[in-house]
Chain A
Amino acid sequence: MLNTPQYHHDPVKFKSKYYDAMASSHHSSYNDFYGFSATFSVPSPPPAPVGQPLLDTQEKSEFDSWIDNNFNTTVPSVDPSHLFAPDLQNDSQYWPDMSPSYQAPDLSPHHGYLSNNMDGYLANNSVSSAPSMAPPQIDINPFTGHDLLQRQHEHSPPQLNNNHSLLNFGTDTNFAPTGYHPPPPVVQLDKDIEIRSKIYTAFPKNDSAVTTAVNSPTEIKYERMGEDTEEDDDSTPYYRDDDNTPSPSVMSPGGTMKRRIDGMDDFMSKSRKQQRLRKSDASARAKKKAAGAKRDNLSEAQKRENHIHSEQKRRNLIRQGFEELCSMVPELNSGGYSKSAVLIHAANYLDDLKKGNARLRIYLQQLQQRGY
């Protein structure tokens, strides 16, 4: 048959296309037979001359017989680029660099050939329209491609199809005649989210991760959370914090974060703790969002309980600190002092201790110097 110009093409993809077409024995649609770009939604080049089929009946039968001869039994051994040959003869309109009598180009660099053709194409048709359209939707699935082609046949004028079938830009399907169009990433994202939400909902509902149990206190006490920092409203001793004053409705979310942090007893820096808290909060929120409404039943009551627990924890730690101070400072051993009194006494005591130590250190130095 014809001499075969080398096309830079992905043989695998091509073969699968070919198989597909062969299986359904649609030789009549060979114009779109290798229509990789048949689904490009690009501004169409000028329509082909109407009434002039690409192949006359003789060429068609030639092609068919050639197909039969070469692809009867095994396909893969044949260079698939041969399949391009039949179209070329009468396609001078789309390969303007070539004379109609064009037979066998010597094409050592494939790209050069392609780009030459492209240059001609661009020059001839003056593709100046901006590529404002959406990225081309390319169907690379070999098993659906044929269907798409068929559909396109039905819905669009045939000359458009013929045009597109000739515009193949290497193996990268993102290249259209108007340039490079990155594939839309949105679809992937949606899928991701969908999968993730499925995973989340697949797990049994378990609130324990969010509502971490408080280990120390056993019963829930309500406290006046509306008050800013301290518990008592008079200068009674500090250990009277836990009178039961159930008024949970007064709870204000402002400043609760800071307070909760105060309750933690490890000596990390505060900012790091805040970070950690915020992170965990955020992740919990994200999980809830991903799982949709199912996760939403960490109800207000549960949140309030969590808050109460953490607030209790914090105050227990503070109370422990005060009790320890009381046990260490002689003046406070009797107990029953207000918080401010404990603090001031402790501070005074500590001051005294340090001053005394300083005195003793000097004394010790004097003793040591006298000794030598």
Chain B
Amino acid sequence: MASERPRLSEQEKKNNHIASEQKRRMAIREGFDRLTEIVPGLEGQGRSESIVLKKSVDHMRDVLNERQQLIQRIQALGGEIPAELR
């Protein structure tokens, strides 16, 4: 039963909390690191989060625009666009 399980002390709770917070931050950091690898212009920089986000959004827009142009040109040449790339 749950009552048989020893209660966590305050210190243990605190430690758990700290550990999970660190884990969360690590995950966010990894996400930012991935974006900096993908997005051009962010490679070597000591990035700030807001800059990484903004540049990622801009880059994503560029890629989507490129996608549209490619689709138009392919279709103009009579090509078929695969469904997953539309």
Binding site for B on A (CB under 8 A): 227-230, 232-235, 258, 261-265, 267, 269-270, 314, 317-318, 320-322, 324-325, 328-329, 338-340, 342-344, 346-347, 349-351, 353-354, 356-357, 359-361, 363-364, 367-368, 371
What are the residues of chain B within 8 A of A368 when measuring CB–CB?
Answer: 77
What are the residues of chain A within 8 A of B82 when measuring CB–CB?
Answer: 359
Q: Are B85 and A367 in contact (CB under 8 A)?
A: no
Q: Are A350 and B50 in contact (CB under 8 A)?
A: no
Does B6 make an interface contact (CB < 8 A)?
no
Cα of A317 to Cα of B54 in the assembled complex, Å: 9
Interface range on chain B: under 10, 10 to 19, 20 to 34, or 35 or more? 35 or more
Q: Chain B: interface secondary structure?
A: helix
Q: Are A359 and B74 in contact (CB under 8 A)?
A: no
Nearest B residue to A353 by beta-carbon distance? B63
Nearest A residue to B55 by beta-carbon distance? A267
Binding site for A on B (CB under 8 A): 17, 20-21, 24-25, 27-28, 30-32, 34-35, 38-39, 45-57, 59-61, 63-64, 66-67, 70-71, 73-74, 77-79, 81-82, 84-85
Take A262-B49, A342-B31, A360-B74 as given contacts and tell me if A354 and B63 are in contact as well, using a CB distance cutoff of 8 Å: yes
Cα of A325 to Cα of B32 in the assembled complex, Å: 12
What are the residues of chain B within 8 A of A342 when measuring CB–CB?
Answer: 31
**Nearest-CB distance from A267 to chain B (Å)?**
7
Cα of A329 to Cα of B61 in the assembled complex, Å: 11
Q: Are A356 and B67 in contact (CB under 8 A)?
A: yes
Q: Chain A: interface secondary structure?
A: helix
Q: Are B74 and A363 in contact (CB under 8 A)?
A: yes
Q: Are A340 and B67 in contact (CB under 8 A)?
A: no
Q: Are B21 and A263 in contact (CB under 8 A)?
A: no
What are the residues of chain B within 8 A of A317 when measuring CB–CB?
Answer: 50, 54
What are the residues of chain B within 8 A of A267 when measuring CB–CB?
Answer: 51, 54-55
Cα of A69 to Cα of B27 in the assembled complex, Å: 102
Cα of A258 to Cα of B17 in the assembled complex, Å: 25
What are the residues of chain A within 8 A of B70 when measuring CB–CB?
Answer: 357, 360-361, 364
Cα of A325 to Cα of B50 in the assembled complex, Å: 12
